[in-house]
A = this chain, B = another copy of it.
Amino acid sequence: MNAVGLIVEYNPFHNGHAFHLNASKEASGAEVVIAVMSGNFLQRGEPALVSKWYRTKMALLNGVDLVFELPYMFAVQKAEIFAGGAISILNAAGCDSVCFGSESGELSSFTETIDFMIEQKQQLEENIHHFITTGVSYPKAVSLAYHQLTDSNSYLDLAKPNNILGIEYIKAIRNQQSSLKPLTVPRKNADYHDEHFASETIASATSIRKAIFSKAGDQNSINQYVPAPTSQLLLEYLKKYQVFHQWENYWGYLQFRLLTSSPDELRDIYEMEEGLEHRLLAAALISGSFHEFMEKIKTKRYTWTRLQRICVHILTNTKKGQMAGPSDQATYLRLLGMTNKGKEYLNKRKKDFSLPLVSKLSAYKEKEIQLDLKAARVYSLGIANHAANELMNQEFTQQPIWIKKG
């Protein structure tokens, strides 16, 4: 059974994702689709709209056969580490290929860009160093340095997060000497960060979330952009938990932790740089919302997403040394859900998996997975009703979701 791997967040699953999924099956000729998906907190340093269990259901009802969790230690990370974790999981799960969406849909534009960067390494580093001294963030400096060396349009635009991710996927495959075959398919319209709807059926997840939060309770405005199961599951979630998760639901906890931690404790938090802790504390004292807080702490030096990721680490009390580094690979395969076909694939192939398969958290005692447990518990505190405790404890005992189809 040939398998193609997808690296996803599905926040929520929309028509663009469905298009990517089908195109990936076609491009790879695979029978089975395996997704590695961020858990409850995402790469951009935000809580997911709905829990990973509901997003797993969306994936399975829309054509994915197996969903593995990208552990927190890789998920809430910059592109390089995120990609390293995701690739190592797809590799361990026996995928033959990995397929990501891109503007160009041409793999050569990625490999050529990587080769160019290797070739120009020294000059690039000098340029990066120069731009860093002007006070911009590291990703911005890389992008500027790179574009200073390339005046043609033949290379990728490094200002686009999706291009950075694609590059990192291919670099991870090389670094891990993986036999995964990289594939890319063209994205359908809608830029990753578009806030406004771009076509009649395709919209970015960002614009869909924006619509959801601006019209609480009224899902009609997004129905044309998401498959029916997404719509139904979003409604079900809202009914059960009375909330779609967003940073504002956690603002009180973040503020509380900032106000009660010593500077030493804050400096211990992953990615916290010397001096930033004082800036965060000062802002926490005069902010009445997460948005207000972010507006007060942002600087040219830190990207918005990097600051949001630091805030997630404060929220989950994640320390330096508890997260994955650039050359780390995953150490377990946490199964979130499967279809019948996915189950069949597991039965045939799991004996060859190069990592332990974790179906229930309570049955796996390794220290690394505790971080996922903690993140899930914190996530459940965004729910204000009695269902919070249920979701909190579900994390420990939940069996993988099994959708009896496909």
A287 on the interface (CB 8 Å rule)? yes
In the complex, chain A residues 327-386 whose Cβ is within 8 Å of any chain B Cβ: 374, 377-378, 381, 386
Contacts of A261 in B (CB 8 A): 317
**With known contacts A252-B252, A252-B253, A381-B255, A317–B285 Cβ distance under 8 A:** no
A192 at the interface (CB under 8 A from B): no
For A389, the chain B residues whose CB sits under 8 A away are: 285-288
Q: Is the CB of A259 within 8 A of B393?
A: no
Residue of B nearest to A387 (CB): B288
For residue A314, give the distance in angstroms from its CB to the closest CB of chain B. Answer: 10
Name the CB-closest residue of B to A389: B288
* A256 interface hit (Cβ, 8 Å): yes
Within 8 A of B (CB), among A270-293: 285-288
Interface size bucket, A side? 20 to 34
Q: Are A259 and B386 in contact (CB under 8 A)?
A: no
Interface string of A303-318 (1 = CB under 8 A from B): 0000000000001110
Which listed residue, B259, B315, B378, B386, touches A381 by the CB 8 Å rule? B259
When C-beta atoms are compared, the residue in chain B nearest to A287 turns out to be B389
Give the residues in chain B near A315, CB-CB below 8 Å. 260
Min C-beta distance of A215 to chain B, whole Å = 24
Let me know if A317 and B377 touch, CB within 8 A. Answer: no
Q: Give the CA-CA distance A244 to B255 in the complex, in Å.
A: 21
Q: Which residues of B contact A393 (CB under 8 A)?
A: 285-286
A126 to chain B, nearest CB (A): 42
Report if A378-B256 is in contact (Cβ < 8 Å); known contacts: A261-B317, A317-B261.
yes
A374 contact set on B, CB distance < 8 A: 259-260
Q: Which listed residue (B262, B286, B317) contacts A260, Cβ 8 A?
A: B317
Is residue A392 within 8 Å, beta carbon to beta carbon, of the partner chain?
yes
Q: Which residues of B contact A285 (CB under 8 A)?
A: 377, 389, 392-393
Question: What's the Cα separation between A386 and B260 when bound, in Å?
Answer: 19
Binary interface encoding of chain A residues 389-403 relative to chain B, with 1 for a CB under 8 A from any of its CBs, else 0:
100110000000000
Counting chain B CB atoms within 10 Å of each CB, the highest count among A252, A259, A386 belongs to A259
CB-CB under 8 A from A378, the residues of chain B are 256, 259-260
Known: A261-B317, A317-B261. A256 touches B381 (CB 8 A): yes
Known: A255-B381, A256-B378, A256-B381. 19 other contacts (CB 8 A): A252-B252, A252-B381, A257-B257, A259-B377, A259-B378, A259-B381, A259-B392, A260-B316, A260-B317, A260-B374, A260-B377, A262-B317, A285-B389, A285-B392, A285-B393, A286-B389, A287-B389, A288-B388, A288-B389
| Shortest beta-carbon contacts, A-B, top 8 | A260-B317, A259-B377, A253-B256, A288-B386, A256-B381, A288-B389, A285-B393, A260-B378
